[in-house]
Amino acid sequence: MMRLFALILIASAAILFSACPSEPASNGATSPANTGEPASDQPGIRVTEQPDRIQKMIEDRGEQEQAKPDLTVESPTEGAVIESSTVKVKVTVGGDLKMGKDDAGMGNHVHVILDNQPYAAHYMWDEGFELRNVTDGEHTLRMFPSRPWHQSYKNDGAFKMIRFTVRNGGADESKPTTDDKGNTMADPKAEEKQAEGVEVEESTAGNVDASKPLLTYSRPKGKYKGEEAEAIMVDFWLTNAQLRGDGGQYLIRCTINDGEPLVIEKWAPVWLAGWKNGKNVVKMELIDAEGNPVENGGYNSTTREITVTR
């Protein structure tokens, strides 16, 4: 507890004395590593600037950067009971956000999260898509639009969570849940990772209360190579919770490879450098002012593994 308070104090001091308060590189996040006192067990991870190539993309995007996307979920409806392992998802994106890939394969897209699994990215949105081999039981779907570099839009209306139940769907529980684009939405083989010390949530809905503070893990995810591995973005969605640096009472605690926790005080992406080659474990938690985890169906504490290749 004392250690966390110490970190928060360091974070506050860093904000007060920050010489470069420009968004989004400075977001109130700090770590012992960037205060001149590297933690002995985690010398590498430190907060860094948003890479220049991202700033260039922001400048090139023009008004798309200022879009206020608004998601409307047509299917599944809230509380739907679906007697099939195939679930049709139909959502419209309003608010002048242009969806889909450009010639370089980049573009705005929606992060789609089944239960508390890693997201699948959807670029071609109008036609909708199917979730396949969804297991019996209660599930949640969370969706929010993201920029080409996977930074989420954080305006009101951009995030939607839907609860639905599959009954007698006949899914093969030994096989992954996928979508019709080939993305894995949930994978029972995640247990193998669990054996390696990575906690993976079972893919049914937690006992989530949509009216309570909810943290949705988004990034980092998957594999990072070359220049993408130099600075890696931590990004998340917050519902019903304001962080302390934004005038609220909550904080995000991000722990990488069991190192000294990084406390995030503002809802904005954080870029981190100093990742080790190979597997890195990222734990992201919503905590209160005393440093206690804020419980909501198990979703407010998520641990993910990413692979870094330099």
Closest approach of Cβ 210 to Cu ion, in Å? Answer: 23
Give 28 or 145: the residue with its C-beta nearer to Cu ion. 145
Closest approach of Cβ 29 to Cu ion, in Å? Answer: 20
Burial of 128 (0-12, 13-18, 19+ CB in 10 A): middle
Burial of 219 (0-12, 13-18, 19+ CB in 10 A): buried
Q: Enter the DSSP assignment of 198.
A: -
Among the listed ranges 78-86, 95-103, 145-153, 197-205, the one in contact with Cu ion (CB under 5 A) is: 145-153
Give 144 or 164: the residue with its C-beta nearer to Cu ion. 144
Among the listed ranges 143-151, 180-188, 254-262, 287-295, the one in contact with Cu ion (CB under 5 A) is: 143-151
Give 146 or 300: the residue with its C-beta nearer to Cu ion. 146
Tell me if 62 sits within 8 A of 106, measured CB to CB.
Answer: no
Instruction: Determine which residue in the list 122, 150, 221, 283 makes contact with Cu ion, applying CB under 5 A.
Output: 150
Give 53 or 167: the residue with its C-beta nearer to Cu ion. 53
Closest approach of Cβ 169 to Cu ion, in Å? Answer: 28
Give 141 or 287: the residue with its C-beta nearer to Cu ion. 141
Who's near 145: CB < 8 A, 6+ residues apart?
69, 71, 93, 97, 99, 108, 109, 110, 111, 152, 153, 158
Give 46 or 122: the residue with its C-beta nearer to Cu ion. 122
Closest approach of Cβ 269 to Cu ion, in Å? Answer: 12
Instruction: Determine which residue in the list 8, 121, 198, 273 makes contact with Cu ion, applying CB under 5 A.
Output: 121
Q: How far apart are CA 186 and CA 114, in angstroms?
A: 7
Binding to Cu ion (CB under 5 A) within 19-58 occurs at none
Closest approach of Cβ 152 to Cu ion, in Å? Answer: 8
Distance of CA 122 to the CA centre of its chain: 15
Q: Enter the DSSP assignment of 61.
A: H
Closest approach of Cβ 158 to Cu ion, in Å? Answer: 13
For residue 74, CA distances in Å to 51, 58, 126 come to: 37, 31, 12
| 3-state DSSP percent of the chain in helix, strand and coil, to 5 | 15, 35, 50
Q: Which residue is nearest to Cu ion (CB)?
A: 150
Q: How far apart are CA 216 and CA 236, in angstroms?
A: 6
Give 147 or 253: the residue with its C-beta nearer to Cu ion. 147
Binding to Cu ion (CB under 5 A) within 204-233 occurs at none
Q: How far apart are CA 254 and CA 264, in angstroms?
A: 7
Instruction: Determine which residue in the list 27, 146, 183, 302 makes contact with Cu ion, applying CB under 5 A.
Output: 146
244 in contact with Cu ion (CB under 5 A): no
Chain residues that interact with Cu ion, rule: CB under 5 A: 121, 146, 150
